[in-house]
Amino acid sequence: MNAHRANIISTLQLIASPTEAMDYQAKVPRVNLASELVCHWFDDFYHSGSVQFKAAFTGPELAELELFHRFFDERADTLPDGLTALLASPIWKQISAEAGSVLARLGWTDLVAKYDD
């Protein structure tokens, strides 16, 4: 799978799953998970202006990703620090649910996101 696709899908899956979030935090306990996920999405992986990024997705997929991006962007600055506070946050629950909805609409819920060999 193209690196852009793999990164976006795996990030959405991580955002959508409290279990995956807890597993991730356990692997990197010194990291502020909210900041890490915001950084993953906004700085590292979502590059809607990139030709290579656009080529990795269909038109409908790009539209869904843009809607999620805007949704997440409107709420990202209000996320609390700390895993317990994050998972209990109503705002995080909204973001997580929206990520899950995007995954479901695009058929990516159970997809294993791996890079091409």
93 within a domain of the structure (yes/no): yes
- The answer to whether residue 117 scores a pLDDT higher than 80 is no
Residue 41 lies in a domain: no
DSSP letter at 6? H
Helix (H) or strand (E) holding 50: none
The residue range of the domain holding 24 is 3-29+56-106
| Number of domains forming the structure of the chain | 1
Q: Is residue 94 part of a domain?
A: yes
Q: What is the pTM of this model?
A: 0.94
User: Which residue type is seen at 16?
Assistant: A
Q: Find tokens 């700390």 and name the residue.
A: 82
DSSP-derived letter for residue 91 is: H
pLDDT digits (tens, 9 = 90+) for 91-104: 999 999 999 999 99
Domain assignment of residue 85, yes or no? yes
